[in-house]
Amino acid sequence: MYFAEDFIERIRIQTDIVSIISEYTNLIKRGTYAYVGKCPFHNEKTPSFSISQDKQMYYCFGCGAGGNVITFVMEKENLSFGETIEYLATKANIPLEYDNSNKNHNREAFFKKDTMFEFYRKAARFYYYNLVHNIPEYVKQYLAHRKINEHTIKKFGLGFAPDSFNALYNYLKSEGATDQILVESGLCAISSKTKQIYDKFRNRLIFPIISPTKKVIAFGGRVFGNENPKYLNSPENLIFHKGNNLYGLHLAKKQNHDYYILVEGYMDVIALHMANFSNAIASLGTAFTSDQAKLLHRYTNDVVIIYDSDAAGQKASLKASKILRSEGFNVKILELIGAKDPDEFINRYGPKQLRQAIDSSHSDVWHEIIKIQSLYDLNNVYEKLKFLEEVSFILANLTNSIEQELYISEVSLKFSIEKSAITNEMKKKIVQNTKDNEIVYKNHSKKNDIEVDLLSVLYHNPTIYDDISGFVFPELFTEGVKRNIAYHLCNKETIDTDLLIKQYPNVDDQKIISSIIVGEDLRYREISILSKMISGTIKNLTESYHANIMRVSNNPQELQYATNLKNNLNRLIELNIVPKNG
């Protein structure tokens, strides 16, 4: 951490969480300090997102997102902790302050990164100026052929790198750049033969790659002429990691879209935006990554993949769909007919035809089934058997049991085979889950955190602790933020939320804190549901505690205490758990 701790705390305290979050979603005031709205992290029809202004925390009852203003900006904008502090300080006009203990190392790294941002910004302006004012005739003809007008050039910040050895180098040197920063940033490179520094991009149409926070972090360049490669990206450096960014996202995220369109190239994104598909984005000359999926998940749950119609494009579609599905997306795949890519399709058939094709596109599962179907003669019993075996393998890998059941019914109906036969074949397919090595022929739905549930109930209904004090103590809870909160609740001490937030800055810990303090579960206002939850949770926690003590302790008194706790669990049914006023 290169910022001083008291400075970070000042940023958090002086930044109003309601003001920041209202930039992303409409908020309605409910009560003195409470606000509600639709969650900025997932699509929903009814509001499930709650903010406590006095505690400066938020929590979503739909997706579980939660934390303070720093974690909100980190997650929503996909920024690092340091970038978030800088972002909030800039918005609040607060000068940056650094941690003197790490001053030399951290400030050097920070300023190098900041310097790169500045020279990428200047380079983008240099390229843009050349495209607007010094455009060669062959570039002008290319833009006219692709129907790229002045509005589009300005919207995407397009530019032109002149066919010169060091035009950008000379310009940036005049702006104060050092040779070291120009080479390290990837804007320039050193010739292995002459040892001279030359421009990385020459005689290329320039596509600035812009972060969600609207900073130029890299360039893509399409060559004019026969030089290879046809498309060239900036190399990775302090500010750019191509597997973590998406082209066009800074524009697409300006609006709330029902779904996003994932394509392969810069020109596909531009063509789609020109045709009013402002939800189009692209990976950056590389295979789609899980980090890109995580970034995209900040803005949508639904994606339509429209990759090139050739074999390589379709293979890449399936790979991308599996990554998106593993991150919780609903995925459709559109295989274009009569055009090699979205740009060509729009030029040939028009935007209306593309929208109809998107509306009728198949889910990723059906797309894969249809592709497999094309490989077999289903009039041949042996080939149909092989086809259905492959389909069963696909369905066995689905992690949602309801989704499995729907596809089983559809496959049964479409291909005239009994549902039981498909189900039995699926059960034979032992499919290893790549994340936790479990068989995925079952529903891996996320379970509630029982410790958080119980702590939240005790926080919002502190008098309940009197009824269960003989069964609940801090050591029942996981060490860290949960045990810390449990200690305060069991000792009937006031919880200082500001201190908690400062003690546990980690994003996951912040979610736990906000879930307990802001995320009151209204189901537990029903006494019967509350009693059942408390008794079941205490039973589970006590049995886990007992098993752990038996495994690690050699202290006879501690072993006996744990055993007595477990043996007394039958007394839980005698408890009269009723929230009391005050």
Per-residue pLDDT reduced to its tens digit, 168-190: 999 999 999 999 999 999 999 99
Name the nearest CA neighbour of 406 among 357, 369, 356: 369
Residue 103's pLDDT band, with cuts at 50, 70 and 90, is very low
Residue 24 has pLDDT above 80, yes or no: yes
Among 267-276, 516-525, 529-538, which stretch is predicted with the lowest mean pLDDT?
Answer: 516-525
- CA pair distance 50, 27, nearest whole angstrom: 9
Q: Is 500 exposed, middle or buried (0-12, 13-18, 19+ CB in 10 A)?
A: buried
Report the distance separating Cα 97 and Cα 113, nearest Å.
16
Q: If pLDDT is split at 50, 70 and 90, which confidence band does 534 have? A: confident
**What interhelical angle do 69-77 and 507-517 show, nearest 10?**
120
For residue 238, which of 200, 179, 168, 183 has the smallest C-alpha distance?
A: 183
Across the chain, mean pLDDT equals 84
* Res 524: pLDDT: 74
Mean pLDDT of the region 410-416: 89
Q: Which of 45-59, 65-79, 414-428, 443-457 has the lowest mean pLDDT?
A: 443-457
pLDDT of residue 572: 65
Confidence check: pLDDT of 525 > 70: yes
pLDDT tens by residue, 149-175: 999 999 999 999 999 999 999 999 999
pLDDT of residue 248: 96
Taking Cα atoms as reference points, which of 156, 108, 111, 109 lies closest to residue 132?
A: 156
In the predicted structure, residue 361 carries a pLDDT above the cut 90: yes
Structural tokens at position 366 = 């059906």
Looking only at the bridges linking them, the beta strands covering 197-199 and 204-210 are unpaired
pLDDT for res 448:
61
**The pLDDT value given to residue 573:** 59
pLDDT one-digit tens code per residue, 362-407: 999 999 998 889 889 888 888 888 898 889 888 988 877 888 899 9
pLDDT > 70: percent of the chain? 91
pLDDT for residue 535: 83
* pLDDT tens-digit series, residues 51-96: 988 788 898 888 888 888 888 888 888 777 778 888 888 887 887 7
Position 24, amino acid: Y
Q: Which range, of 122-126, 246-250, 572-576, averages the lowest pLDDT?
A: 572-576
Cα–Cα distance list, 567 to 352, 544, 546, 555 (Å): 70, 13, 10, 18
Please give the C-alpha separations between residue 62 and each of 22, 43, 50, in angstroms, as whole numbers. Answer: 18, 10, 10
Residues 136, 200: contact at Cβ < 8 Å? no
> What is the rounded distance in angstroms from the CA atom of residue 389 to the CA atom of residue 315?
21
Report, as an integer, the average pLDDT of 549-553.
81
550, 534 contact by CB (below 8 A): no
Token duo for residue 443? 């529903």
d(CA 285, CA 265): 7
pLDDT of residue 440: 28
Per-residue confidence at 433, pLDDT binned at 50, 70, 90?
very low
Distance CA 504, CA 533 (A): 27
| pLDDT 10s digits, 266-304 | 999 999 999 999 999 998 877 898 888 888 887 888 999
Do 273 and 282 meet the contact criterion of CB atoms below 8 Å apart?
Answer: no
Of 176-180, 217-221, 539-543, 553-557, the range with the lowest mean pLDDT is 553-557
**Residue owning tokens 């479409």:** 414
Phi, psi of 302 (to 5 degrees): -125, 130
pLDDT of residue 341: 92
In angstroms, rounded to a whole number, what is the distance separating the alpha carbons of residues 264 and 309?
A: 11
Mean pLDDT to the nearest integer, 24-32: 82
Which of residues 53 and 329 earns the better pLDDT score?
329
What is the three-class DSSP state of 202? coil
Measured distance CA(451)–CA(44) in Å, rounded:
27
Average pLDDT of span 515-521: 81
CA atoms of 411 and 401, how far apart (whole Å): 15
pTM of the model: 0.61
For residue 432, the model assigns a pLDDT of 35
Q: Please report the pLDDT score of residue 272 as a whole number.
A: 97
Share of the chain above pLDDT 90, in %: 35
What's the pLDDT score for residue 441?
A: 28
Which tokens belong to 95?
């000068």
Distance CA 289, CA 365 (A): 19
From the CB of residue 139, how many other CB atoms can be counted at a distance below 10 Å? Answer: 18
